[in-house]
Structure 1
C-alpha cells in the first residue's frame, strides 16, 4: 500500500508540475497578447487619420468638378448667339425638369437615420427651389420672346 501511495503521490506531483508549466505558458501567452493589443491600438490612430484624409480628398475632387462645371456652363451660355436664346431656354427648362425630379427624390428619400440625411434633404430642397425658379424664369423669357414676334395690331 505504501508503494501505491508513493506512486499516487508521484503522479500528483507530476500533474501539479504539468499544471504549473501550463499556467506559466498561459500567462506568457496572455502577456504576448496584451503586447499585440497595445501595438494594434497604436496603429488605429494613424489609420483613422488616413481615412479622414481620404474623405477630405473626395470632397476636394467633387468640389473641383463642380467649379469646372460652373466655368464651362458660363462660357457655353454666354457664347450662344442671341438668335438661339429661345431654343436654349427651352432646353434649359427641359433639363431643369429633370433636375427637379432628382431633387424631389432627394427630399423624399428616407435617409434621416444616416449621418448625412439632413444634408441630403437640405440640398434636395435647395435643388427644388433653384430648379423651380429656373423653370418659371424660362417660361417668362420664352413668353416675352414669342410676344416680340406677334403682330402689333393683333
Structure 2
C-alpha cells in the first residue's frame, strides 16, 4: 500500500473521530474545552516557531511561516471566542435608580 494512502486514511479517520467527539460535548463544557484548546494551540505555535527556526530548506521555511501564521490566528481567535463566551455568563449590575425628580 502506498504511504500517501495510509496517511490520507489516518487523516480522514481522525476527522471523523474529531467530529463525533465534538458533537457529543454538552454546551456547558464548551468554555473549558476552548481554554484547553487555546493552550494546545500555543504549544503548536511554539513548535512551529522552533521547527521553522532550525530549517535550511526554503520550501520548509515557507511552509513553516504559513504554519506560524495559521497557528497564531487560530490561537488568537480561540481566545476571542472564549472571552465572548465568558461574557455571556457575567451578571449585569442593576442600574441605580434615577433620583433627579424626587423631593428630599
Q: TM-score, normalised by structure 2?
A: 0.75
Instruction: Give the structure with the larger helix fraction.
Output: 1
Contact 1:107/1:121 (8 A) holds in 2: yes
Give the aligned length. Answer: 94
Mapped to 2, the partners of 1:122 and 1:67 lie a distance apart of 25
* 2:70 is aligned with 1:125: no
Is 1:68 matched with 2:13? Answer: yes
SS of the counterpart of 1:151? coil
Q: Can you give the 5+ residue segments of structure 2 that lack an aligned partner in the other structure?
A: 95-104
- List gaps (5 residues or longer) in structure 1: 1-53
Match of 2:38 among 93, 107, 116: 93
Give the number of the structure with larger relative contact order, counting CA–CA contacts within 8 Å between residues 6 or more apart. 2
Q: What CA distance in whole angstroms lies between the structure 2 residues aligned with 1:125 and 1:80?
A: 33
Change (3 A) 1:129 1:109: same
**2:51 aligned to which of 106, 110, 133:** 106
